[in-house]
Amino acid sequence: MTLVGLLYLGGSLLIFADHVNSEQFLASAPQLAGAAAVVVALTAAAVVLGRRGRRPLAGPRRAPRPVLVGSFALAAAVGFQLPPPSWLGVAAGAVIAAIVVLATSRWSRRTGWGSAHILAL
């Protein structure tokens, strides 16, 4: 996770450096500091709280096959990029994100959910 975080930070800095040299919109220093503070706070909360025990769903239903989970994730990612950059697009993105969270939280509590599912997601 540390390596992934560092790679993400490096990619973010490359994108930021590219936008600084262009004429496009750039957030102010307080906006960037506020966003960074939120990221640090959420990361700290995740580390402190850790993983909570998952309560399995009632019933003998098994988790879907990893290929179905991966296809669902791909469709959701594509669908998240399609809406126009407007408030309607933001609402559509929020609905797609909510569907992904709901489906993933339900599937991950079923028997048979494992690392192949996580990789597919």
pLDDT at 96: 92
Distances from the Cα of 73 to the Cαs of 18, 21, 89, in angstroms? 29, 34, 19
pLDDT at 102: 93
Phi, psi of 90, deg, nearest 5 = -65, -45
pLDDT at 74: 94
Over the chain (121 residues), what is each successive 10-residue block's mean pLDDT?
A: 84 79 75 89 84 62 90 93 88 92 89 89 87
pLDDT at 112: 86
